[in-house]
Amino acid sequence: MKKQSLLSAALLLFICFFAMPCYGAVQPDSLAIKIGQMLMVGFRGLTVADAPEIAADITERRIGGVVLFEYDVLSRTPLRNISTLGQLSRLTQELQKLSAIPLFIAIDQEGGKVNRLKPARGFPASVSAQHLGLLNNPDSTRSAALQSARTLRALHIGMNLAPVADLNSNPANPVIGKLERSFSADPSVVTTNIRLTCDAYRTEGIIPVLKHFPGHGSSTTDTHRDFTDITSSWSEKELEPYRTMIDSGYWDPIMTAHVFNGKLDPLYPATLSKATIDGLLRGKLGFKGVIISDDMQMRAIADHYGLETAIRLAIDAGVDILLFGNNTAYDSAITEKATVFIKSLLARNIITPERLDRSFRRIMELKQRYRLDSL
Protein backbone atom coordinates (compact mmCIF):
# COMPACT_ATOMS: atom_id res chain seq x y z
CA MET A 1 0.00 0.00 0.00
CA LYS A 2 2.84 2.36 0.86
CA LYS A 3 4.52 1.64 -2.49
CA GLN A 4 1.27 2.35 -4.33
CA SER A 5 0.89 5.60 -2.37
CA LEU A 6 4.39 6.73 -3.36
CA LEU A 7 3.73 5.88 -7.00
CA SER A 8 0.50 7.88 -6.89
CA ALA A 9 2.31 10.85 -5.40
CA ALA A 10 4.99 10.62 -8.08
CA LEU A 11 2.30 10.56 -10.78
CA LEU A 12 0.69 13.65 -9.30
CA LEU A 13 4.04 15.46 -9.24
CA PHE A 14 4.56 14.56 -12.89
CA ILE A 15 1.15 16.00 -13.73
CA CYS A 16 1.88 19.13 -11.71
CA PHE A 17 5.20 19.95 -13.29
CA PHE A 18 4.99 18.58 -16.81
CA ALA A 19 1.31 18.40 -17.77
CA MET A 20 -0.20 21.13 -15.62
CA PRO A 21 -3.06 22.03 -15.50
CA CYS A 22 -4.17 18.58 -16.68
CA TYR A 23 -6.13 16.70 -14.02
CA GLY A 24 -7.41 13.18 -14.37
CA ALA A 25 -8.76 10.84 -11.71
CA VAL A 26 -7.89 11.97 -8.20
CA GLN A 27 -4.98 9.95 -6.89
CA PRO A 28 -4.96 8.65 -3.27
CA ASP A 29 -2.44 11.28 -2.14
CA SER A 30 -3.67 14.20 -4.19
CA LEU A 31 -5.97 15.72 -1.57
CA ALA A 32 -3.23 15.72 1.07
CA ILE A 33 -0.86 17.35 -1.41
CA LYS A 34 -3.36 20.00 -2.45
CA ILE A 35 -4.17 20.90 1.15
CA GLY A 36 -0.51 20.88 2.16
CA GLN A 37 0.47 23.22 -0.66
CA MET A 38 -1.98 25.78 0.73
CA LEU A 39 -0.10 25.98 4.05
CA MET A 40 2.99 28.03 4.94
CA VAL A 41 4.28 27.48 8.47
CA GLY A 42 6.85 28.93 10.86
CA PHE A 43 8.89 26.83 13.28
CA ARG A 44 11.59 26.93 15.94
CA GLY A 45 15.03 25.62 15.14
CA LEU A 46 18.40 26.46 13.62
CA THR A 47 18.61 23.04 11.96
CA VAL A 48 16.12 20.46 10.73
CA ALA A 49 17.27 18.22 13.58
CA ASP A 50 16.07 20.93 16.00
CA ALA A 51 12.62 20.94 14.40
CA PRO A 52 11.25 17.43 13.81
CA GLU A 53 7.72 18.84 13.58
CA ILE A 54 8.54 20.96 10.51
CA ALA A 55 10.32 17.99 8.91
CA ALA A 56 7.14 15.94 9.38
CA ASP A 57 5.03 18.81 8.04
CA ILE A 58 7.13 18.83 4.88
CA THR A 59 7.53 15.09 4.32
CA GLU A 60 4.19 13.79 5.62
CA ARG A 61 1.76 16.69 5.37
CA ARG A 62 3.33 18.11 2.18
CA ILE A 63 3.23 21.77 3.22
CA GLY A 64 4.00 24.18 0.42
CA GLY A 65 6.16 26.63 2.32
CA VAL A 66 7.92 27.75 5.47
CA VAL A 67 8.57 31.23 6.86
CA LEU A 68 11.76 32.15 8.72
CA PHE A 69 12.30 34.54 11.64
CA GLU A 70 15.39 35.68 13.49
CA TYR A 71 13.61 36.35 16.81
CA ASP A 72 11.13 34.21 18.74
CA VAL A 73 8.54 36.60 20.13
CA LEU A 74 6.94 34.38 22.76
CA SER A 75 10.12 33.03 24.32
CA ARG A 76 12.03 36.28 23.71
CA THR A 77 14.83 34.24 22.25
CA PRO A 78 17.15 35.95 19.75
CA LEU A 79 17.94 32.72 17.89
CA ARG A 80 14.85 31.38 16.17
CA ASN A 81 15.92 30.24 12.68
CA ILE A 82 18.80 32.57 11.90
CA SER A 83 22.26 32.70 13.45
CA THR A 84 24.92 33.10 10.77
CA LEU A 85 25.09 33.10 6.99
CA GLY A 86 26.52 29.58 6.91
CA GLN A 87 23.98 28.20 9.37
CA LEU A 88 21.04 29.73 7.48
CA SER A 89 22.30 28.47 4.14
CA ARG A 90 22.57 24.94 5.53
CA LEU A 91 19.09 25.13 7.08
CA THR A 92 17.37 26.25 3.88
CA GLN A 93 19.11 23.55 1.84
CA GLU A 94 18.10 20.92 4.41
CA LEU A 95 14.49 22.09 4.25
CA GLN A 96 14.40 22.11 0.46
CA LYS A 97 15.84 18.60 0.24
CA LEU A 98 13.00 17.28 2.41
CA SER A 99 10.31 18.41 0.00
CA ALA A 100 9.21 16.40 -3.04
CA ILE A 101 7.67 19.59 -4.48
CA PRO A 102 9.96 22.65 -4.42
CA LEU A 103 9.30 24.55 -1.20
CA PHE A 104 8.49 28.23 -0.79
CA ILE A 105 11.08 29.40 1.74
CA ALA A 106 9.91 32.87 2.74
CA ILE A 107 11.20 35.72 4.87
CA ASP A 108 10.29 39.34 5.70
CA GLN A 109 13.41 41.11 4.48
CA GLU A 110 11.95 44.55 3.77
CA GLY A 111 15.02 46.51 4.87
CA GLY A 112 15.49 49.05 7.64
CA LYS A 113 13.61 48.15 10.82
CA VAL A 114 11.85 45.11 9.35
CA ASN A 115 14.99 43.18 8.69
CA ARG A 116 15.42 39.51 9.58
CA LEU A 117 19.03 39.41 8.36
CA LYS A 118 20.87 41.64 10.81
CA PRO A 119 24.32 43.12 10.13
CA ALA A 120 25.32 42.06 13.67
CA ARG A 121 25.09 38.47 12.42
CA GLY A 122 27.17 39.09 9.33
CA PHE A 123 24.47 40.04 6.81
CA PRO A 124 24.62 43.19 4.64
CA ALA A 125 23.12 46.38 6.05
CA SER A 126 19.87 47.54 4.47
CA VAL A 127 17.79 50.72 4.25
CA SER A 128 14.08 51.26 4.78
CA ALA A 129 11.42 51.76 2.13
CA GLN A 130 10.81 55.24 3.53
CA HIS A 131 14.45 56.16 3.02
CA LEU A 132 14.29 55.00 -0.60
CA GLY A 133 10.96 56.73 -1.20
CA LEU A 134 12.34 60.05 0.03
CA LEU A 135 15.26 59.68 -2.38
CA ASN A 136 12.89 58.43 -5.10
CA ASN A 137 15.90 57.57 -7.19
CA PRO A 138 15.56 54.52 -9.46
CA ASP A 139 19.23 53.59 -9.15
CA SER A 140 19.09 53.66 -5.33
CA THR A 141 15.95 51.55 -5.14
CA ARG A 142 17.19 49.08 -7.74
CA SER A 143 20.56 48.76 -5.99
CA ALA A 144 18.98 48.13 -2.58
CA ALA A 145 16.56 45.57 -4.01
CA LEU A 146 19.29 43.76 -5.92
CA GLN A 147 21.44 43.54 -2.80
CA SER A 148 18.54 41.98 -0.87
CA ALA A 149 17.70 39.61 -3.70
CA ARG A 150 21.27 38.45 -4.16
CA THR A 151 21.64 37.89 -0.43
CA LEU A 152 18.44 35.80 -0.38
CA ARG A 153 19.51 33.83 -3.42
CA ALA A 154 22.87 33.01 -1.83
CA LEU A 155 20.92 31.76 1.20
CA HIS A 156 18.54 29.65 -0.96
CA ILE A 157 15.54 31.72 0.16
CA GLY A 158 13.17 31.98 -2.79
CA MET A 159 10.41 34.31 -1.57
CA ASN A 160 10.58 37.72 0.05
CA LEU A 161 7.40 38.92 1.75
CA ALA A 162 8.03 42.39 0.34
CA PRO A 163 7.76 45.08 -0.96
CA VAL A 164 5.18 47.00 1.05
CA ALA A 165 2.61 48.65 -1.22
CA ASP A 166 0.88 50.53 1.63
CA LEU A 167 0.69 54.31 1.47
CA ASN A 168 2.19 56.26 4.35
CA SER A 169 -1.19 57.87 4.99
CA ASN A 170 -0.63 57.98 8.75
CA PRO A 171 3.01 58.54 9.74
CA ALA A 172 2.06 57.69 13.35
CA ASN A 173 0.80 54.26 12.30
CA PRO A 174 2.53 51.92 14.80
CA VAL A 175 3.07 49.07 12.34
CA ILE A 176 3.69 50.88 9.01
CA GLY A 177 4.59 54.59 9.27
CA LYS A 178 6.57 54.46 12.52
CA LEU A 179 8.59 51.52 11.22
CA GLU A 180 9.37 53.34 7.93
CA ARG A 181 7.91 50.45 5.89
CA SER A 182 6.09 52.56 3.29
CA PHE A 183 7.83 54.25 0.38
CA SER A 184 5.55 57.28 0.42
CA ALA A 185 2.09 58.75 0.92
CA ASP A 186 2.04 59.39 -2.83
CA PRO A 187 0.65 56.41 -4.79
CA SER A 188 2.81 57.17 -7.82
CA VAL A 189 6.02 57.14 -5.75
CA VAL A 190 4.96 53.88 -4.10
CA THR A 191 4.14 52.31 -7.47
CA THR A 192 7.42 53.36 -9.05
CA ASN A 193 9.45 51.94 -6.20
CA ILE A 194 7.56 48.67 -5.77
CA ARG A 195 7.86 48.06 -9.51
CA LEU A 196 11.63 48.62 -9.41
CA THR A 197 11.89 46.34 -6.38
CA CYS A 198 9.83 43.55 -7.92
CA ASP A 199 11.80 43.73 -11.16
CA ALA A 200 15.08 43.46 -9.26
CA TYR A 201 13.87 40.47 -7.27
CA ARG A 202 12.75 38.66 -10.42
CA THR A 203 16.15 39.30 -12.01
CA GLU A 204 17.66 37.15 -9.26
CA GLY A 205 14.87 34.57 -9.26
CA ILE A 206 13.29 35.78 -6.00
CA ILE A 207 9.50 35.89 -5.72
CA PRO A 208 8.19 39.30 -4.59
CA VAL A 209 5.00 39.62 -2.53
CA LEU A 210 3.07 42.90 -2.50
CA LYS A 211 1.44 43.68 0.85
CA HIS A 212 -0.91 44.48 2.65
CA PHE A 213 -4.06 44.47 0.50
CA PRO A 214 -6.29 46.54 0.45
CA GLY A 215 -4.04 48.94 2.36
CA HIS A 216 -2.74 49.12 5.94
CA GLY A 217 -1.08 52.53 5.85
CA SER A 218 -3.89 54.54 7.43
CA SER A 219 -4.41 52.32 10.49
CA THR A 220 -3.90 53.52 14.04
CA THR A 221 -3.48 50.07 15.59
CA ASP A 222 -1.48 46.92 14.88
CA THR A 223 -3.18 43.74 13.60
CA HIS A 224 -0.53 41.67 15.40
CA ARG A 225 -2.03 42.90 18.67
CA ASP A 226 -5.69 43.76 18.14
CA PHE A 227 -8.71 44.27 15.91
CA THR A 228 -7.86 47.07 13.48
CA ASP A 229 -10.65 49.18 11.95
CA ILE A 230 -9.67 51.45 9.04
CA THR A 231 -13.20 52.23 7.84
CA SER A 232 -12.95 55.96 8.51
CA SER A 233 -9.30 56.42 7.53
CA TRP A 234 -8.95 54.28 4.36
CA SER A 235 -9.36 55.79 0.90
CA GLU A 236 -9.59 54.32 -2.59
CA LYS A 237 -6.25 55.80 -3.56
CA GLU A 238 -4.67 53.04 -1.43
CA LEU A 239 -5.66 50.65 -4.22
CA GLU A 240 -3.76 52.61 -6.88
CA PRO A 241 -0.41 50.79 -6.53
CA TYR A 242 -2.19 47.43 -6.85
CA ARG A 243 -4.36 48.55 -9.73
CA THR A 244 -1.42 49.96 -11.68
CA MET A 245 0.78 46.91 -11.06
CA ILE A 246 -1.96 44.44 -12.01
CA ASP A 247 -2.88 46.42 -15.11
CA SER A 248 0.77 46.27 -16.19
CA GLY A 249 0.89 42.48 -15.85
CA TYR A 250 1.84 41.81 -12.21
CA TRP A 251 0.90 38.26 -11.24
CA ASP A 252 3.32 37.40 -8.49
CA PRO A 253 1.73 36.99 -5.02
CA ILE A 254 -0.22 39.56 -3.03
CA MET A 255 -0.59 39.35 0.75
CA THR A 256 -3.81 40.32 2.48
CA ALA A 257 -4.18 42.53 5.55
CA HIS A 258 -6.26 41.66 8.60
CA VAL A 259 -7.71 45.17 8.67
CA PHE A 260 -11.46 45.68 8.94
CA ASN A 261 -12.85 48.09 6.37
CA GLY A 262 -16.59 48.60 6.54
CA LYS A 263 -16.50 50.42 3.20
CA LEU A 264 -15.55 47.12 1.56
CA ASP A 265 -17.20 44.57 3.85
CA PRO A 266 -19.45 45.34 6.84
CA LEU A 267 -18.79 41.94 8.45
CA TYR A 268 -15.25 40.65 7.99
CA PRO A 269 -11.62 41.87 7.90
CA ALA A 270 -9.93 41.71 4.52
CA THR A 271 -8.27 38.29 4.89
CA LEU A 272 -11.66 36.72 5.60
CA SER A 273 -13.69 38.90 3.24
CA LYS A 274 -15.04 37.45 -0.01
CA ALA A 275 -16.14 40.94 -1.05
CA THR A 276 -12.58 42.25 -0.64
CA ILE A 277 -10.57 39.35 -2.06
CA ASP A 278 -12.80 37.65 -4.62
CA GLY A 279 -14.95 40.66 -5.41
CA LEU A 280 -12.40 43.49 -5.40
CA LEU A 281 -8.93 42.01 -5.86
CA ARG A 282 -9.83 39.21 -8.26
CA GLY A 283 -13.01 40.69 -9.73
CA LYS A 284 -12.63 44.46 -10.14
CA LEU A 285 -8.83 44.59 -10.24
CA GLY A 286 -8.46 41.39 -12.25
CA PHE A 287 -5.68 39.77 -10.22
CA LYS A 288 -4.98 36.18 -11.28
CA GLY A 289 -1.98 35.27 -9.13
CA VAL A 290 -1.46 33.67 -5.73
CA ILE A 291 -3.02 35.34 -2.69
CA ILE A 292 -1.27 34.78 0.66
CA SER A 293 -2.87 35.59 3.99
CA ASP A 294 -1.03 37.60 6.57
CA ASP A 295 -0.27 35.52 9.65
CA MET A 296 -3.49 33.76 10.64
CA GLN A 297 -2.32 33.67 14.27
CA MET A 298 -2.25 37.46 14.63
CA ARG A 299 -4.65 38.62 17.31
CA ALA A 300 -6.83 40.59 14.88
CA ILE A 301 -7.93 37.17 13.61
CA ALA A 302 -7.13 34.70 16.40
CA ASP A 303 -8.88 36.67 19.18
CA HIS A 304 -12.11 37.03 17.23
CA TYR A 305 -12.52 33.85 15.20
CA GLY A 306 -11.98 30.19 15.95
CA LEU A 307 -9.34 28.47 13.83
CA GLU A 308 -11.83 26.47 11.77
CA THR A 309 -14.01 29.53 11.13
CA ALA A 310 -11.00 31.62 10.12
CA ILE A 311 -9.77 28.92 7.73
CA ARG A 312 -13.24 28.49 6.22
CA LEU A 313 -13.75 32.20 5.68
CA ALA A 314 -10.25 32.76 4.25
CA ILE A 315 -10.57 29.91 1.74
CA ASP A 316 -14.08 30.97 0.79
CA ALA A 317 -12.83 34.54 0.36
CA GLY A 318 -10.19 33.38 -2.13
CA VAL A 319 -6.95 33.02 -0.14
CA ASP A 320 -4.60 30.47 -1.76
CA ILE A 321 -1.94 30.13 0.94
CA LEU A 322 -2.73 30.27 4.66
CA LEU A 323 0.26 31.58 6.60
CA PHE A 324 0.79 30.41 10.19
CA GLY A 325 3.93 32.17 11.40
CA ASN A 326 3.97 30.39 14.78
CA ASN A 327 5.51 33.48 16.32
CA THR A 328 2.68 35.58 17.77
CA ALA A 329 1.40 32.22 19.04
CA TYR A 330 3.11 28.84 18.87
CA ASP A 331 1.41 25.56 18.03
CA SER A 332 3.61 22.71 16.83
CA ALA A 333 0.45 20.90 15.66
CA ILE A 334 -0.97 23.82 13.64
CA THR A 335 -0.47 22.03 10.31
CA GLU A 336 -2.28 18.92 11.51
CA LYS A 337 -5.16 21.01 12.87
CA ALA A 338 -5.50 23.07 9.69
CA THR A 339 -5.42 19.91 7.56
CA VAL A 340 -8.15 18.25 9.64
CA PHE A 341 -10.35 21.35 9.41
CA ILE A 342 -9.94 21.67 5.64
CA LYS A 343 -10.76 17.99 5.14
CA SER A 344 -13.82 18.41 7.35
CA LEU A 345 -14.97 21.45 5.36
CA LEU A 346 -14.64 19.38 2.17
CA ALA A 347 -16.48 16.40 3.65
CA ARG A 348 -19.38 18.64 4.66
CA ASN A 349 -19.44 20.34 1.22
CA ILE A 350 -18.76 23.72 2.81
CA ILE A 351 -15.86 24.14 0.42
CA THR A 352 -15.55 22.23 -2.84
CA PRO A 353 -12.71 20.24 -4.41
CA GLU A 354 -12.84 22.68 -7.34
CA ARG A 355 -12.08 25.55 -4.97
CA LEU A 356 -8.92 23.77 -3.76
CA ASP A 357 -7.98 22.95 -7.35
CA ARG A 358 -7.99 26.64 -8.28
CA SER A 359 -5.54 27.48 -5.49
CA PHE A 360 -3.42 24.43 -6.25
CA ARG A 361 -3.08 25.39 -9.93
CA ARG A 362 -2.04 28.93 -9.06
CA ILE A 363 0.51 27.72 -6.49
CA MET A 364 2.00 25.12 -8.81
CA GLU A 365 2.20 27.59 -11.70
CA LEU A 366 4.15 29.99 -9.49
CA LYS A 367 6.53 27.23 -8.38
CA GLN A 368 7.04 26.13 -11.97
CA ARG A 369 7.72 29.68 -13.12
CA TYR A 370 10.43 30.31 -10.52
CA ARG A 371 12.06 26.84 -10.45
CA LEU A 372 12.78 27.10 -6.73
CA ASP A 373 14.71 23.85 -6.78
CA SER A 374 17.45 25.59 -8.79
CA LEU A 375 18.25 28.21 -6.11
DSSP letters spanning 196-245: HHHHHHHHTTPEE-EEEET--TT-SS-TTTS--B-TTT--GGGGHHHHHH
pLDDT of residue 228: 85
| CA dist list (Å): 209 to 70, 99, 300 | 19, 22, 21
pLDDT of residue 128: 98
Nearest-angstrom CA–CA distance, 279 and 281? 6
pLDDT of residue 19: 41
Return averaged pLDDT per consecutive 10 residues of the chain, 375 residues in all. 41 45 46 97 97 97 97 93 98 97 97 96 97 98 98 98 97 96 98 98 98 95 76 97 98 96 96 98 98 92 90 97 96 96 97 97 97 83
pLDDT of residue 6: 40
pLDDT of residue 165: 98
* Domains of the chain from N-terminus onward: 30-374 (3.20.20.300)
Give the residues across from 211 on adjacent strands: 164
pLDDT of residue 14: 43
The tens digit of pLDDT for each residue in 334-349 reads 999 999 999 999 999 9
Contact 69, 116 (CB under 8 A): yes
pLDDT of residue 303: 86
pLDDT of residue 211: 98
- Look at the chain and count its residues: 375
Single-letter residue type at 121: R
pLDDT of residue 371: 87
The tens digit of pLDDT for each residue in 149-161 reads 999 999 999 999 9
Nearest-angstrom CA–CA distance, 244 and 239? 9
pLDDT of residue 299: 85
